[in-house]
Homo-oligomer: A and B are copies of this chain.
Amino acid sequence: MSENERKDTPEQAEFREYCRDWLAENAPPETSVRLPLSPLEIMTEDQLHYLQDWQRKAYDAGLVGCDYPVEVGGGGRNDCQRIANAEMQGAKTPFFPNVIGLGMAAPTVFYHAQEDKKAALLPKLFSGEEIWCQGFSEPGSGSDLASVQTFAEQKGDKWIINGHKVWTSLAHFAEWMIILLRTDKSHKYEGLSYFVVPIRSALGKGVTVRPLIKMTGETGFNEVIFDNLEVDDSYRLDAVGKGWQVAMTTLAHERGAGQLVTPQAGGRVQQREGEEETVFGAMSLVELARSSRRNGASAAEDPVIRDRIMREVIREEGFRQCRRRTRVQALTDDPMRIPLQHKLRQSEIMQDMAQLATDIEGPAASLYIDDDNAPANARWPLAYMNSFGFTIAAGTSEVQRNILGERVLGLPKSK
């Protein structure tokens, strides 16, 4: 029995056991559907439906939204979501598809929406029936969120929205969007308001969703154009001009720094046969090296390559052990210190690993996904390019370092 379990309250202990039993029965079996590496990369209906089914089952069983009140579709439990998360991760279940809904929209709606809206929106969010997306970034406002220009003009109890949001993952599946809008051009921060707006039901009626083409040639995220979209005032979260404060709730939860624990299932992805379970697959670099030749010899015999692979293996283990340590209070001085490193560490490890992989492949790294001779189906050149999506989106690595330097080390703001 782990230290954590020893600290369980009676309710938590009982719930933990319940989760275990339920998962033993109901953890979804392996699937033929090729799952993406992260929910943000869900592209096909097959992937979506497989994952939606799983989220619905988990929700019906009470493993999703456990800590939210019953009135809004939650489980009404006390601090039990992390129990469910730990057990689901232990059971290596797939992740939930409604990741923006659960991690960002749900807490924001819960803390800032009108009561009737909470009851109307949250159950279908928890069950995954309705997918959510986020409308923060704009062409002119990436890192500087408060500079958004998409404008909402009040007409009686309606708002007319015009503007342009970008990098909206999942918008092509989304029913709803949480959106930060400008309602007053004369004040930067006080001129912002926060809404929930319909996407799918408004397609062609004021909303256009266009795929953005990545440097890889793939479509991944979208741009969403608002052309006189009319939204009822009741979809406003908190007061007019309080959008920035509401957005802080969203971002705090995105960074794992919010009050409500985000429902998170395991991160199961397709695994190669016999490959040791890893977070990023550093050991797969060993496989790659074994199958790659560097002018005449196996890359796995090249000590410089070996040294570089081990660096990544060590960083990956360090990432895993840091996650483990965050759950041991006595070994973490500042509770936010490691969680705030998570995104930076993860995205840069992924980038460095993918770059190393292309170095291991050598000339063969020039081959792209259509080429039958491409090692690992060109997974690595593709992953290297896509890694910049992670070091840029959701707060660039540069912004992450500012946040860490300012919030954890107490250094003065760089802006």
Contact = CB atoms under 8 A, between A and B. Distances in A.
Interface string A80-105: 00000000000000000000000000
A304 B303 CA distance: 7
How many copies of the polypeptide does the oligomer hold?
Answer: 2
Contacts of A307: 304
Main secondary structure of the interface of A (DSSP, over half): helix
Contacts of A304: 303-304, 307
Interface in A298-346: 302-304, 307
Contacts of A302: 303
A53 to B, nearest CB: 50
Contacts of A303: 302-304
Interface in A12-48: none
A304 B302 CA distance: 10
Interface in A363-385: none
A316 to B, nearest CB: 20
Nearest to A304: B307
A302, A303, A307: residue with the most chain B Cβ atoms closer than 10 Å: A303
A295 to B, nearest CB: 14
Nearest to A305: B303
A359 to B, nearest CB: 13
A257 B303 CA distance: 44
A408 B302 CA distance: 40
Nearest to A303: B303
A307 B304 CA distance: 8
A234 to B, nearest CB: 45
Nearest to A302: B303
A93 B347 CA distance: 53
A303 B299 CA distance: 13
Interface string A126-138: 0000000000000
A307 B359 CA distance: 15
Nearest to A308: B304
A401 to B, nearest CB: 15
A304 B307 CA distance: 8
A303 B304 CA distance: 7
A53 B232 CA distance: 90
A243 B133 CA distance: 59
A302 B303 CA distance: 8
A253 B213 CA distance: 51
A240 to B, nearest CB: 35
A297 to B, nearest CB: 12
A144 to B, nearest CB: 16
A71 B304 CA distance: 62
A190 B302 CA distance: 61
Interface of A: 302-304, 307
5 contacts: A302-B303, A303-B303, A303-B304, A304-B304, A304-B307
Among all A-B residue pairs, the 5 with the closest Cβ atoms? A303-B303, A304-B307, A303-B304, A304-B304, A302-B303
